[in-house]
Chains A and B, each alone.
Chain A
């Protein structure tokens, strides 16, 4: 199943038939693997990789360090859940080190994000502090390089 998942991770548009050929296994086996991965919550979905900066999408991204007080019996999970339910929160991670949660927040403008932090995030009773970093340029995300310089190499003429 892992080899099927690896291929899908790189190209979600591959059909079971193509995957079967690429791996040298039966198509039915691939279909079974995919179905099982869905059922077991391993394959959670598939989406396209879009460079919004090029497409003219207007939005800003912020990485927000969040310090929280964990709750008895729930640890960080309860407060994490309260945070990630906001649509503005694109990702949320529990971290080791100098702070507890890292939230990636997307908004239409700096003001938008600032308002979200001030009004929604820092007012949660378990949140003891935040530190907001705005993202200036995306070089690579999810294994995909965004800011690639133009490929201008001349190629071999014979062979």
Chain B
């Protein structure tokens, strides 16, 4: 059979391959490059957590679990959310265990968006939001965040985007790729605007544990907001568990029920071994999280200082593990900048426009790599910009 075009759905065909992918193809060929590209912790999963996964296998826990996840894990999720963020959710009905935060995002969109509905997506942000919305037949509406506002969603921008077709707002904080966060006192004004609409908030809080200098505050903690917010959490970033695929959705009972229905047909249940490991992670993991956060924070300061010393204008991020320096001063686009940097100095960073058009003029640097590599990459980046 030649030419599968007729067999490929229009929606699938319309998705553009991730902008980051091209760089990884280039990077593949350059084994000795330093990669500041992948958005992934550099720590292995703490041994206690891995050990719990292994123990569950030894005990023979190899079957499907309840669709929503094992009840002990949901109960632990509830305790964790209460302890860490002061949010209370009922383990029976308001919590769903998913295959990474990724699945939780997808489920929430699929459960709430009708064809033609608009989903507001502040950008630059995670690459998956737009495609997930498009696959559900929704219309992604990018909202351009600016460095001048600390890459925060402002109440006025939100208000101006609230059309009658707008059904969901994605709230991507702490933000990949900018590292921006929303502080507790940023939230009431946003909640005020949202209260005047019928919009649902999909709050992607996968980086909630990685904030520096203040605790993460969830929009769901604002008066009246819990009823219209689905919080997405997960262990990938906070507990260095990307490969385990453990995510969680927290929200109103009716919405979680719809999401669970889709999950039940598409996935059945999240990986069993991972759920038992997750139980230990949430119950006993706070000190690991604390020490990893401290370590990221040190590298954040180190890299920010190094980039500024090399002449970059760079916003100080308070969350996640990314820096998002401007490269406008060098007179070339972000893609060209990244490609040349990789080819000439063997350092991989991601062009900002991979995260939305408003990311043009910036690059994303992931500092979740060893200090030794950060040190060397700073030398190379400085050498590169000097000859631009």
Binding site for B on A (CB under 8 A): 7, 11, 14, 18, 21-24, 155-159
Contact = CB atoms under 8 A, between A and B. Distances in A.
Contact of A159 (B39, B297, B301, B305): B39
B128 to A, nearest CB: 9
Given A11-B371, A158-B20, A18 B38 contact: no
A158 B273 CA distance: 25
B24 interface: yes
Contact of A158 (B24, B301, B375): B24
B18 interface: yes
5 nearest A-B residue pairs (beta carbon): A22-B298, A21-B302, A158-B18, A158-B21, A21-B301
A22 B299 CA distance: 6
A23 B299 CA distance: 9
B301 A157 contact: no
B21 A24 contact: no
A18 B20 contact: no
Contact of B40 (A21, A23, A156): A156
B127 interface: yes
Interface of B: 17-18, 20-21, 24, 38-40, 127, 242, 297-299, 301-302, 305, 371-372, 375
Contacts of A159: 18, 20, 38-40, 127
12 contacts: A7-B298, A11-B372, A14-B371, A21-B301, A21-B302, A22-B298, A22-B302, A155-B38, A156-B242, A157-B24, A159-B40, A159-B127
A114 to B, nearest CB: 38
Question: What does DSSP make chain A's interface, helix, strand, loop or mixed?
Answer: loop
Question: What does DSSP make chain B's interface, helix, strand, loop or mixed?
Answer: helix
A120 to B, nearest CB: 40
Nearest to A153: B243
Contact of B371 (A22, A23, A156): A22
A147 B349 CA distance: 32
Nearest to A151: B44
A52 B204 CA distance: 48
Given A23-B298, A156-B242, A158-B18, 10 more contacts: A11-B372, A18-B371, A21-B305, A22-B298, A22-B302, A158-B20, A158-B24, A159-B20, A159-B40, A159-B127
Contacts of A157: 21, 24
B21 A21 contact: no
A42 B38 CA distance: 39
Of the candidates A18, A21, A24, A159, the one having the most CB atoms from chain B within 10 angstroms of its own CB is: A159
Of the candidates B39, B127, B242, B298, the one having the most CB atoms from chain A within 10 angstroms of its own CB is: B298
B38 A21 contact: no
A21 B297 CA distance: 10
A21 B305 CA distance: 8
Of the candidates A7, A22, A156, the one having the most CB atoms from chain B within 10 angstroms of its own CB is: A22
Nearest to A7: B298
B129 to A, nearest CB: 13
B127 A21 contact: no
A155 B302 CA distance: 26
B312 to A, nearest CB: 16
